[in-house]
Amino acid sequence: MIKFTDEMKERLGSAFRERKVCMLGTASREGAPNISFRGSLFVFDEDHLATWERSFQSSVDNLEENPNVVILYVDFSSRLGWRFYGQATMHKTGETRQRIMERTIKDELDKDPERKGYGVLIRVDRIRRFSGDEIVQER
């Protein structure tokens, strides 16, 4: 089981407000990469991160074809960050989607006034520092 530290929980949950970088890396079935900024990202539970997907662009197509993802969080001012590797599942309807939406920051939901977005749940299997290859945790 992955154990998110209190610092990870705080930093990820406040990244948008603090203007820190959070990015989602995906790849198509054929391996074509895509990277996108995340306005909402938070620790959902002991094993998962969550984000609200409202763009309906390449990330959605990639997630439907290939669930392998990486999340990058970086605070350049303190030179602190992590890479979270795992498997994503999209929740277009249902209780999990609702729970993710309820915990998504208002600024992000305001960009999706009709609430057409999806909840994305990412089961984290490995955490590494943002620079170098040091593994912080692994499932």
Region class of 19: left (phi > 0), else alpha (psi between -120 and 50), else beta: left
Domain boundaries of the chain, sorted by first residue: 6-138
Our CA angle for 63, 65, 116, nearest 5°, is 45
Q: 6-138 has which CATH code? A: 2.30.110.10
pTM assigned to the model: 0.90
| Beta bridge partners of residue 90, listed in sequence order | 120
Task: Please give the backbone phi and psi of residue 131, each rounded to the nearest 5 degrees, phi first.
Answer: -125, 145
> What are 35-68's pLDDT values in tens digits?
998 878 999 999 999 999 887 667 788 888 999 9
Give the closest residue to 43 by CA, choosing from 100, 83, 85: 100
Q: Are the beta carbons of 42 and 12 closer than 8 angstroms?
A: yes
